[in-house]
Amino acid sequence: MNAEIIITEALGKVVEKLYGSVPAPELLQVQTTRKEFEGDYTVVVFPLLRISRKSPEQTGSEIGREILDSLPEIESFQVIKGFLNLKMSSSYWMNRLQDIALTKNYGMGSPSGRTVMIEFSSPNTNKPLHLGHIRNNLLGWSVSRIMEANGHKVVKVNLVNDRGIHICKSMLSWLRYGQNVTPESSGIKGDHLVGDYYVRFDKQYKEEVKELVNGGMEEEQALREAPILQEAQSMLVKWEQGDEQVLNLWKKMNGWVYQGFDITYKRMGITFDKIYYESETYLLGKELVMKGLKDGVFFRDPDGSIWCDLTSEGLDRKLLLRADGTSVYITQDLGTAVSRYQEYGFDTHVYVVGNEQNYHFQVLKLLLKKLGFSWADDIIHLSYGMVELPEGRMKSREGTVVDADDLMDNMIETARETSLESGKLEDMSPEGQEHLFEILGLGALKYFILKVDPRKTMLFDPRESIDFNGNTGPFIQYTFARIRSILRKAASRGYHSRMYGRPMLEKELRLIKLMANYPQIIEESGRDYSPAQIANFSFDLAREFNQYYHEVTVLHEEDRELRDQRLLLLKQVARLLESSMGLLGITLPERM
């Protein structure tokens, strides 16, 4: 049984016995002992002083002596101010190793009966996926895996922003300058081709604005009245009116983009349970806006546009429909949210979206509440920080983004160069080598992104991410491959892995203690929507194993029982590395 449960149950009985009062559950606080102190688990004494009516030190000592007498799993205790540190016995930890080995899905939670919907990716069909999308996709995928590990039913969804003024910009630019070029005729991946014309639009737009300003127009007016922008806005109106020519062009160019996206998603290992399209949900959003208008929740401006006044909630007025009747982002988000709840009845809906949209999701929840949807409180915005490069932020319109496909190519090439320098792959087939380089390159990328707390802005350094000696994916991948190599050699010699109850070294106990925390790590990372905690666990376990293996003999241990017991330990370390890295979407190679 989990030590925290054992200690908490015993603590309640001890407090009642010593002080004649049954403590409320919230007073029984047991946590992992901080690294700088001796012990495994710590009882926080301060909440119990209202019952003991004694000093923290005296209370801690009395409880410690009583727990030591009543629990054979406790070896010793120490009181430091208001904290009672308990050290578990070696036999307890050895039993925990046996439990880990015998538990089929160790660390995974029982079915919760809850449905968690997670929206991630949400690309625009006017450009390819870039580095920012990579963080979004990797976070969304990993959080989905972690929520499944916590026992929830997870529905992974993607909302493709396939309509709007930005899409029309790419379409108009292609019409003007494309000369009927296609992905097939150009040899350019579809999403890249369309993205090129989005950049081309912005270049022409800036030239027209400059020309108008030079002709005496105010810049603000020029930004609104540049001919190419006026034409794009006219195209958007035609789209919403169902103009056949515009719709056909839209379908053709979006089709190119989807083919490109599919290739990128497959390479990243990303799949979705359902894909929603803004073009299919914005109409429901418009219906909701009109209903809100009718019910007096929203209001119409003199120019015909529809708004919601959120100033009493400390926000601003929010546009819901433009004067020309076209919708905005929030319109389709309203429709999509309602559609999803009707379809899945989720208990929680997590939106994985960058922190520049914090205000948007505040507004979305408020609007849904005003429309009478009580489940609006079940919406969570996993607001993550931007990814920056040493040279600064990326800008899609100017074509200065780091393309996702190019980045993955570069990561795999770096993995190739680094691995070949080691000179350990001579006996591996060329196909096997290429497969390994893909695993290492993408593992390095995923781990480097996911080891950072999602809420923090991060600086991405490709070269640092693939270091085989640092806090990186390749370091953990190498550790796993090393253990698998040891286990293969052991099997070829007819060795077995089993528990004999032989005394274990302190370094072995440290490995077991780390593994014993795995269920708690999964629970905490699910509660915080943070894959970083899983990444930190994986690194700590890999690092601890390498220190252990550097000093302890395994295959050449002459004592058979000791050798087989150590092989059991190694087998479980490899198993939890594979499990935890799997929650990050990272594959571990059998050999390197």
Asked if residue 396 belongs to a domain, the reply is no
Asked if residue 590 belongs to a domain, the reply is no
CA-angle at 300, arms to 297 and 304, nearest 5°: 150
Least confident of 31-40, 375-384, 474-483: 31-40
Structural domain harbouring 525: 407-583
Asked if residue 294 belongs to a domain, the reply is yes
Our measurement of the distance from residue 403's CA atom to the centroid of its chain's CA atoms, rounded to an integer in Å, reads 20
Calculate mean pLDDT across residues 397-406.
70
Q: Six-digit token pair at 300?
A: 């119409």
Cα distance between residue 455 and residue 576, in whole Å: 26
> Which H/E stretch holds residue 307?
strand 306-309
If pLDDT is split at 50, 70 and 90, which confidence band does 466 have? Answer: confident
Which amino acid, 197? Y
In the block, tokens 């190599």 appear at: 485
CB atoms within 10 A of CB 134: 23
Asked if residue 110 belongs to a domain, the reply is no
CA-angle at 444, arms to 415 and 470, nearest 5°: 95
Specify whether 346 is located in the same domain as 476.
no
Calculate mean pLDDT across residues 144-165.
96
Specify whether 520 is located in the same domain as 555.
yes
Cα distance between residue 174 and residue 171, in whole Å: 5
Which residues 6+ apart lie within 8 Å of 562 measured at CB?
500, 502
CATH of the domain at 425: 1.10.730.10
Which amino acid, 205? Y
* 252-273 tens-digit pLDDT: 999 999 999 999 999 999 999 9
Specify whether 452 is located in the same domain as 352.
no
Domains in the chain, number: 3
Specify whether 378 is located in the same domain as 440.
no
Which amino acid, 342? Q
Specify whether 421 is located in the same domain as 381.
no
Q: Six-digit token pair at 550?
A: 């550097």
3-state secondary structure 517-566: CHHHHHHHHHHHCCCHHHHHHHHHHHHHHHHHHHHCCCCCCCCHHHHHHH
Specify whether 152 is located in the same domain as 226.
yes
Give the pLDDT confidence score for residue 21 in this predicted structure: 94
Least confident of 70-79, 141-150, 421-430: 421-430
Asked if residue 242 belongs to a domain, the reply is yes
Specify whether 167 is located in the same domain as 311.
yes
Cα distance between residue 1 and residue 23, in whole Å: 22
User: Which stretch, 125-129, 159-163, 574-578, has highest mean pLDDT?
Assistant: 574-578
Give the pLDDT confidence score for residue 459 in this predicted structure: 87
Which residues lie across from 85 on neighbouring strands?
Answer: 42, 78
Cα distance between residue 567 and residue 572, in whole Å: 9
Is residue 241 predicted with pLDDT exceeding 50?
Answer: yes
Calculate mean pLDDT across residues 308-333.
92
Calculate mean pLDDT across residues 571-591.
97
> Which H/E stretch holds residue 257?
helix 244-268
Specify whether 440 is located in the same domain as 381.
no
Last residue of a domain, one of 327, 361, 388: 388
Last residue of a domain, one of 388, 420, 447: 388
Spatial contact of 440 and 481, defined as CB atoms under 8 Å apart: no
Q: Which of 376, 384, 382 is nearest to 346 (CA)?
A: 376
Spatial contact of 103 and 120, defined as CB atoms under 8 Å apart: no
If pLDDT is split at 50, 70 and 90, which confidence band does 399 have? Answer: very low
Calculate mean pLDDT across residues 212-220.
95
Calculate mean pLDDT across residues 515-536.
97
If pLDDT is split at 50, 70 and 90, which confidence band does 397 have? Answer: very low
Cα distance between residue 99 and residue 97, in whole Å: 5
Asked if residue 13 belongs to a domain, the reply is yes
| N residues, the chain | 592
| N-terminal to C-terminal alpha carbon distance within the chain | 37
Cα distance between residue 270 and residue 262, in whole Å: 9
Last residue of a domain, one of 354, 388, 422: 388
Spatial contact of 97 and 572, defined as CB atoms under 8 Å apart: yes
Calculate mean pLDDT across residues 220-229.
96
Cα distance between residue 206 and residue 217, in whole Å: 14
CA-angle at 392, arms to 390 and 397, nearest 5°: 135
Is residue 396 predicted with pLDDT exceeding 50?
Answer: no
Cα distance between residue 484 and residue 480, in whole Å: 6
Specify whether 469 is located in the same domain as 430.
yes
Cα distance between residue 260 and residue 62, in whole Å: 67
Asked if residue 541 belongs to a domain, the reply is yes
If pLDDT is split at 50, 70 and 90, which confidence band does 398 have? Answer: very low
Which residues 6+ apart lie within 8 Å of 511 measured at CB?
541, 544, 545, 548, 569, 573
CB atoms within 10 A of CB 57: 14
Percent of the chain with pLDDT over 90: 87
> Which H/E stretch holds residue 77?
strand 74-80
Give the pLDDT confidence score for residue 424 in this predicted structure: 73
Cα distance between residue 242 and residue 261, in whole Å: 26
In the block, tokens 């708690």 appear at: 520
Cα distance between residue 439 and residue 445, in whole Å: 10
Give the pLDDT confidence score for residue 391 in this predicted structure: 64
Is residue 417 predicted with pLDDT exceeding 90?
Answer: no
Give the pLDDT confidence score for residue 592 in this predicted structure: 85
Calculate mean pLDDT across residues 247-255.
97
Let me know how many helices (H) and strands (E) the chain has, helices first.
22, 14
Spatial contact of 419 and 467, defined as CB atoms under 8 Å apart: no
Specify whether 505 is located in the same domain as 450.
yes
Supply φ then ψ for residue 335, to 5 degrees: -65, -40
Give the pLDDT confidence score for residue 238 in this predicted structure: 94
Specify whether 8 is located in the same domain as 50.
yes
If pLDDT is split at 50, 70 and 90, which confidence band does 167 have? Answer: very high
CATH of the domain at 377: 3.40.50.620
Asked if residue 99 belongs to a domain, the reply is no
Specify whether 184 is located in the same domain as 221.
yes
Spatial contact of 34 and 104, defined as CB atoms under 8 Å apart: no
Give the pLDDT confidence score for residue 394 in this predicted structure: 43
Cα distance between residue 416 and residue 431, in whole Å: 13
In the block, tokens 């002992």 appear at: 33
Supply φ then ψ for residue 352, to 5 degrees: -90, 100
Spatial contact of 288 and 330, defined as CB atoms under 8 Å apart: no
